[in-house]
Amino acid sequence: MIWIKIFPAEVLDGEDFIKKINVSGKKLCAVKTGDRLFVVQNKCPHAGAELSQGWCSNGNIICPYHRHEFNLETGRGKAGQGNYLNHYPVEARGDGIYVGLKKSWWQFWG
């Protein structure tokens, strides 16, 4: 696992947001809601919409296209959807907020 800083630590004290972030060439979706920050894949598994254009309700992110809902904590789609999101571990450290990505083989050997 490699940890990459994505935001300054103060972001947790600011406004809620949903935004697309680019981390090591991966397009991900960061969701700040209350004092929590989640990172999930940005592309909706249903038909490819950008989840960063969606919104958040009751701990779920909702896709703007066909309203599929995914739990931000587990990535699970709502019952009956049969899909899920990749979700990534987030760590708040003294100097910022980090997301954990699995090392790909080329990073491992490089």
The footprint of ligand FES (CB under 6 A) covers: 44, 46-49, 63, 65-66, 68
Choose between 23 and 49: whose C-beta lies nearer to ligand FES: 49
How far apart are alpha carbons 63 and 78 in whole angstroms? 12
Instruction: Return the number of the residue (66 or 103) whose C-beta is nearest ligand FES.
Output: 66
CB burial readout 33-44, b (16+ within 10 A) else e: beeebbbbbbbb
Rounded least distance, CB 72 to ligand FES, Å = 15
Q: How far apart are the first and last CA of the chain?
A: 14
Could you tell me the smallest distance in angstroms from the CB atom of residue 63 to ligand FES? 3
